[in-house]
Amino acid sequence: MKKLLIAGVVASMSLTAVADVSLIGKWKSTITNDNGPSTLVNDLDLTLKGKVNNDTMITTTFENIGKTDSNTVEVKQMYIQTSIEGLDAKIGKSKGQDGKGLLQDVSAVSNKITLSTNVGGINVSATQKSGDGNATADISGEFGGVFLSAENVLNSNRFLTGSLSVGNIDILAERQKTTVGTNTGIQLSTTMVGVALTGVYIDVEDTIGVTHDGILENISDANNGSTVKGAVVSLPTLLGDVTGKYIVKNDLSTVHAELNRGNMTYIYSKTENTDSVLKAELSVTF
């Protein structure tokens, strides 16, 4: 079934001569124990790419294969990147993201057309979603070593991002004002004697606009009118790469520790007033 589906996608690409076809995959097996019976979840993501020429690439993704009991294989993303009348075009079903992941995680798939170009070092793009009467416009660029971007710039709830480096410190800031309130995130990162240090502060006034699931784990359940704070330390050791996190969310602290050894990652997590969680993850990319 899966081979037939992939073969069908490859066949559809043959409408135009495809010079190169590649398959990229990631397998993850996760064993979780939270003071009950241990569970095993297997997850496979596949990305199929067909390169027509230097201007045209077709991408199709199959995600979360085997993660549920269903044997259904679903196409999550399917889009073409090409050039139309001198503009870069991305057409089809794809995910998106506002900012660089500090406030928001990757969004759900939507069917849309994006046209973009670069004018004097400034990237300008317009996106039209299927069935939506309003297009959105984004602009971004680097000015004197400072990266700035404004997504949905013509709307009052535009998403603003800025980043720069000062000495050995990388600074990232994101802000979005909505009708409910203003969400603001600041991240400072540096490396000292081989130890990576990161501090994060997020002010949440509209929880719908905060879907971060990254360096501070999942904070999409942060309360309105609250702040989320975290410190992350990562360093190589003789046992493997070690990462420790201390996170405060909804007035509860969480201690999170990871040990990465090759294809294996061992995780311990403990939030106040809850049981600890142990995980072992096998992750293989190909």
Summarised one tens digit per residue, pLDDT across range 275-284 is 999 999 999 9
Strand stretches in 110-220, DSSP E: 110-119, 122-129, 136-143, 146-151, 159-166, 169-177, 182-192, 195-204, 213-214, 217-218
- Tell me if 160 sits within 8 A of 175, measured CB to CB: yes
Bridge partners of residue 169, in order along the sequence: 166
Summarised one tens digit per residue, pLDDT across range 55-100 is 899 999 999 888 776 666 778 999 999 999 999 999 999 999 899 9
pTM for this one? 0.86
Instruction: Give the residue from 73, 76, 71 showing the smallest Cα distance to 59.
Output: 76
Place of tokens 């709307």: 155
Summarised one tens digit per residue, pLDDT across range 201-254 is 999 999 999 999 999 999 999 999 999 999 999 999 999 999 999 999 999 999
Bridge partners of residue 33, in order along the sequence: 278
Give the pLDDT score at 75. Answer: 85
Phi-psi region at 262: left, alpha or beta (left = phi > 0; alpha = psi -120 to 50): left
Summarised one tens digit per residue, pLDDT across range 95-117 is 998 999 999 999 889 999 999 99
Is the model's pLDDT at 11 over the cut of 80?
A: no
Which residues neighbour 173 within 8 Å (Cβ) at sequence distance 6 or greater? 102, 161, 162, 163, 184, 185, 186, 187
Report the percent of the chain where pLDDT is more than 90.
85
- Tell me if 259 sits within 8 A of 241, measured CB to CB: yes
Is the model's pLDDT at 6 over the cut of 50?
A: no
Place of tokens 């000495």: 167
Give the pLDDT score at 133. Answer: 85
Buried b (16+ CB within 10 A) or exposed e, 111-138: ebbbbeeeeeeeebbebeeeeeeeebeb
Give the pLDDT score at 9. Answer: 41
Is the model's pLDDT at 14 over the cut of 60?
A: no
95 alpha carbon, distance to own chain's centre: 9
Is the model's pLDDT at 8 over the cut of 70?
A: no
Average pLDDT, the chain: 92
DSSP state of 140: E
Handedness of CA 126, 130, 132, 133 (dihedral sign): positive
Give the pLDDT score at 206. Answer: 95
Q: pLDDT-based confidence at 19, cuts 50/70/90?
A: low
Rounded to whole angstroms, the Cα distance separating 133 from 276 reads 48
Rounded to whole angstroms, the Cα distance separating 32 from 209 reads 29
